Chain A
Amino acid sequence: MAQGEGAWLETWQSDRGQVLAPVGRWAIGDLFLVEKEIRARAEAASGAIIIDLSKVDTLDTAGAWTIYRTARNLEANGVAVDVVGATDDQVSLIEAVRAAETEVPPDEPTGNSFVNMVAHVGQSAIEIAKETGDLVGFFGQTLVAAGRVVVRPRRLRATSLFYHMEEVGLNAIPIVGLMSFLIGIVLAFQGASQLQRFGAEVFVVNLVAISVLREIGVLMTAIIVAGRSGSAFTAQIGSMKVNEEVDAMQTLGLDPMEVLVLPRLFALALTLPLLAFFADIMGLVGGALMAWITLDISPATFIERLRDAVSLWSFWVGILKAPFFAFLIAMIGCYEGFQVTGSATSVGQRTTRAVVEAIFLVIVVDAAFSIFFQIVGI
C-alpha cells in the first residue's frame, strides 16, 4: 500500500459500456482530488456504466460512500450500473455504507436577517425582564435564609465563612492596596500639575483626600472584588451545578442557600468594608508620597491639611457604601452561578455576565448614593 499517491479516475470505452475505474487511494484524505470529477462524470453519463474497482489500492468508508453514491445517482437517472472488480472486503464496506445511507439533513433555516434581528432584540428584552424578576426573587430567598440564620446563628457555617473571608478578604489585600496606592499617586500628580498654575498646590491634599475617601477607595475595591471574587463565586457554584453537586446537596437535606450563598455573602459583607478602609489608607499614602516628591509637601503638613480638609463624614460616606456593594457582588455572583446549565460554555458565559452586571450595578448604586448624600447634605 503506497501512501500519499493520491486518487484519480481512469475512464475508457469497453464493449459493454463506459468504464469508470477509480485508481489509487480512495480514502478520506485524498478524495477531494476526485470528488468533483466523479460527480461530473456521473451527471454526463448515459447508456451503461461499469465501475471497475480492481485498480483501487485503498478504500475507506468515505471512498465507499463516493462510489455507492455515484452508482445510486446513476441508477436514479436510468443508467445501468455494474460494479466489478471489488474484493470481498470492499463489497462488505460498500454494503455497510449502503445500510447507513442517509440524506444530509438540511441546515437549520436561517430566515430573514432583519426579522431575526428584531426577534433577537425581543427575545433579549423578555430574557432581561425574566432575569430581573428571578434576581429579585433570589434576593428575597437570600433574605429569608439570612433571617433564619440571624434567628438561629448556629445554622451559619463558620468554617465556610472564615474560609471565604480569607479568600475574598485577606488574599485580596495586596492587589487592592497596590491599586489604590497607584491611584493615589496618579491623583496627586495630575492634581498638582493643574493646581500649580493657580498657586494652589496645597489643595492637592483636599483633592486626594476627598476623592479617595468618598469615592475612589471603595469603588476601586468593589470593582476589584467583583472581578476577583464575584467571578469566583459564579464559577464555583456553576461547576457544582454542572456536576450535580447542588442537586445532591438538596437531596441530603442541605439548603444550598444556607450552605453556598450565605457564607459567601457574609464573608464579603464583612471584609469589603475592611478592604475599602485599607484602600483609603493606601490611597492617601500614595497621594502623600507624590505630594512630597513633586510639591515638597511634607507628610506632617499633609496630615495637618488632611484634618482641615475632610470631616469624619467623608470617610464614613465611603465606608458606608461598602456593605451594599458587597451585597450586590455576592448576590449576582451566586445568582449567576445557579443559572448555569449543562455545559462548560455556560459556566464561562455566566461568569462573564456576573462580573459585568456586578460592576455595572455597583456604579449605578454608587451614583444613587452620591445623589442621596447630596440631598441630605453630607
Chain B
Amino acid sequence: MTDGDIAIRVRGLRTQFGNQVIHDNLDLDVRRGEVIGVVGGSGTGKSVLLRTIIGLNRPAAGTIEVLDHPVTGASREQMLELEKRWGVLFQDGALFSSLAVDENIEVPLKEHTAMSHEFRKEVAALKLRMVGLPLSACHKFPSQLSGGMRKRAGLARALALDPDILFLDEPTAGLDPIGAAAFDQLIRRLQQSLGLTVFMVTHDLDSLHAICDRIAVLADHRVSVIGSMDQMLASDHPWVREYFHGPRARAALG
C-alpha cells in the first residue's frame, strides 16, 4: 500500500485529560475512499479521537497525518488548507442558530471562495437538495427544524466545499429507524458519487452493517480490532464478541 492510498494516518497517539488517559499508543490508518466506522463502549474516546484528528484537541503524544499533511504541529495556514478539505458533521448538526439554513451552508462558501452571490445561492440550493432537504427548509432557522432535518442541513454545510474527507459524529443517533436508514443511504450515495472518505463514529449496528467498509473497535485505549464486518463477527475479542453477538446485534444483522 503506497502513501497516497492513506487518507488518515494516526501513529502512537496519546490523549489525556489531566490524569485520565483516553488513548495510549493508538495507531489507525484510514484508506482513501472507504467508509470507516469507529465503535467502542461509552467513554472509550470515540468522539475524542474524531476531535483530535480534526485538530480540536491537542494530543499529548503521537502524530496525525491527514491527506499526507501533518495535523499535529501544523501552522495556522496549513490547518486552514486542511480544514477546507474536510467536512465535519457534529452530533446535533451544530448549525449556527442565528443564521437560516441556506446562510449556514453559505458560510464556508463565503469565507473560502470568491464566487458571485448568484452562483453561491445556486451551489447552496444544490447541496440542500443533494442531502434530501425540501427547498422550503431553505429560509428556516435551525430551531424550526426537526432533529433529522438539522442533521441533513449540517451535512449540507459539511459538504459545501466538496471535501475529500467527511467526519461524522453519530450521524444516526436520535433518528427514527426509517430516518436513520435513509440517512445511511444518503451517506453511501454521496460517498460513492463524490468519492468521499468517510470517518464515522457510531453506535448504530445497522449503519455499520449497511455502509461501513471497515470497522475500528476502540478498547483498552487503542484500536484493538479493525476489519470488515465478517472479521468482526469472527473476532474473539471479548468486547467485540459481546457487541456483535449480543441480542441487538443478532436482530440487526439477521
Interface residues of A, Cβ cutoff 8 Å to B: 27-29, 31-32, 35-36, 60-62, 65, 69, 89, 92-93, 95-97, 100-105, 108, 341-345
Chain A residues with Cβ under 8 A from B136's Cβ? 105
User: Which listed residue, B109, B116, B194, touches A93 by the CB 8 Å rule?
Assistant: B194
Complex contact A102–B129 (CB within 8 A): yes
Complex contact A341–B125 (CB within 8 A): no
B241 within 8 A of A: no
The CB with the most chain A CB atoms within 10 A, among B112, B114, B159, B162, is that of B162
Chain A residues with Cβ under 8 A from B109's Cβ? 28
B205 within 8 A of A: no
A179 and B26 alpha carbons, distance in the complex (Å)? 55
Nearest neighbor of A96 in chain B, beta-carbon distance: B193
**Contact A105 to B193, CB < 8 A, known contacts A28-B123, A31-B119, A61-B130:** no
Chain A residues with Cβ under 8 A from B189's Cβ? 96
Mask for B9-47, Cβ within 8 A of A = 1, else 0?
000000000000000000000000000000000000000
The CB with the most chain A CB atoms within 10 A, among B116, B125, B135, B193, is that of B193
Q: Shortest distance in angstroms between B170's beta carbon and chain A's nearest beta carbon?
A: 19
Chain A residues with Cβ under 8 A from B143's Cβ? 341-343
Complex contact B162–A35 (CB within 8 A): no
Complex contact A342–B97 (CB within 8 A): yes
B221 within 8 A of A: no
Complex contact A32–B97 (CB within 8 A): no
Nearest neighbor of A97 in chain B, beta-carbon distance: B126
Q: Shortest distance in angstroms between A179's beta carbon and chain B's nearest beta carbon?
A: 34
User: Which listed residue, B125, B194, B195, touches A102 by the CB 8 Å rule?
Assistant: B125
A344 and B141 alpha carbons, distance in the complex (Å)? 12
Chain B residues with Cβ under 8 A from A27's Cβ? 162
Complex contact A96–B84 (CB within 8 A): no
Complex contact A32–B113 (CB within 8 A): yes
Q: Shortest distance in angstroms between B161's beta carbon and chain A's nearest beta carbon?
A: 6
Complex contact B128–A62 (CB within 8 A): no
17 contacts between A and B (CB under 8 A): A28-B109, A28-B123, A28-B162, A29-B84, A32-B113, A61-B123, A61-B130, A61-B159, A61-B194, A65-B123, A69-B122, A96-B190, A102-B125, A102-B135, A341-B143, A342-B97, A344-B97
Chain B residues with Cβ under 8 A from A93's Cβ? 193-194
B51 within 8 A of A: no
- The total number of A-B Cβ pairs within 8 Å is 87
Q: Shortest distance in angstroms between B113's beta carbon and chain A's nearest beta carbon?
A: 5
A97 and B189 alpha carbons, distance in the complex (Å)? 12
A179 and B118 alpha carbons, distance in the complex (Å)? 55
Mask for B213-248, Cβ within 8 A of A = 1, else 0?
000000000000000000000000000000000000
Q: Shortest distance in angstroms between A54's beta carbon and chain B's nearest beta carbon?
A: 19
A342 and B116 alpha carbons, distance in the complex (Å)? 33
Interface residues of B, Cβ cutoff 8 Å to A: 84, 97-98, 102, 109, 112-116, 118-119, 121-123, 125-130, 135-136, 138-139, 141-143, 159, 161-162, 189-190, 192-195
Nearest neighbor of A348 in chain B, beta-carbon distance: B98
A35 and B136 alpha carbons, distance in the complex (Å)? 27
Chain B residues with Cβ under 8 A from A61's Cβ? 123, 126-127, 130, 159, 162, 194
Complex contact B139–A29 (CB within 8 A): no
A36 and B119 alpha carbons, distance in the complex (Å)? 10
Chain B residues with Cβ under 8 A from A102's Cβ? 125-126, 128-129, 135
Nearest neighbor of B124 in chain A, beta-carbon distance: A104
Complex contact A105–B125 (CB within 8 A): yes
Nearest neighbor of B119 in chain A, beta-carbon distance: A35
Q: Shortest distance in angstroms between B222's beta carbon and chain A's nearest beta carbon?
A: 34
Closest 7 CB pairs of A and B: A342-B143, A343-B97, A96-B193, A60-B162, A100-B129, A32-B114, A100-B130
Chain A residues with Cβ under 8 A from B141's Cβ? 343
A176 and B138 alpha carbons, distance in the complex (Å)? 49
Chain B residues with Cβ under 8 A from A92's Cβ? 192-193
A108 and B135 alpha carbons, distance in the complex (Å)? 13
Complex contact A104–B125 (CB within 8 A): yes
The CB with the most chain B CB atoms within 10 A, among A29, A101, A103, A342, is that of A29
Starting from the known contacts A342-B97, A343-B98, A343-B142, 14 additional A-B residue pairs (CB-CB under 8 Å) come to A28-B162, A32-B114, A36-B116, A61-B194, A62-B123, A92-B193, A96-B190, A96-B193, A100-B129, A102-B125, A105-B125, A105-B136, A105-B139, A341-B143
Chain A residues with Cβ under 8 A from B194's Cβ? 60-61, 93, 96
Q: Shortest distance in angstroms between A315's beta carbon and chain B's nearest beta carbon?
A: 48
Complex contact A345–B162 (CB within 8 A): no
**Contact A29 to B130, CB < 8 A, known contacts A35-B119, A93-B193, A343-B143:** no
Complex contact B123–A105 (CB within 8 A): no
A103 and B124 alpha carbons, distance in the complex (Å)? 11
**Contact A104 to B121, CB < 8 A, known contacts A27-B162, A31-B115, A341-B143:** yes
Q: Shortest distance in angstroms between A86's beta carbon and chain B's nearest beta carbon?
A: 14
Nearest neighbor of B112 in chain A, beta-carbon distance: A29
A157 and B203 alpha carbons, distance in the complex (Å)? 40
Nearest neighbor of A58 in chain B, beta-carbon distance: B162
A28 and B111 alpha carbons, distance in the complex (Å)? 12
A96 and B186 alpha carbons, distance in the complex (Å)? 12
Chain B residues with Cβ under 8 A from A65's Cβ? 122-123, 126
Q: Shortest distance in angstroms between A270's beta carbon and chain B's nearest beta carbon?
A: 37
Q: Shortest distance in angstroms between A64's beta carbon and chain B's nearest beta carbon?
A: 9
Nearest neighbor of B131 in chain A, beta-carbon distance: A100
Complex contact B193–A103 (CB within 8 A): no
Chain A residues with Cβ under 8 A from B135's Cβ? 102-103, 105
Chain B residues with Cβ under 8 A from A62's Cβ? 115, 123, 126, 162
**Contact A32 to B115, CB < 8 A, known contacts A61-B194, A102-B128:** yes
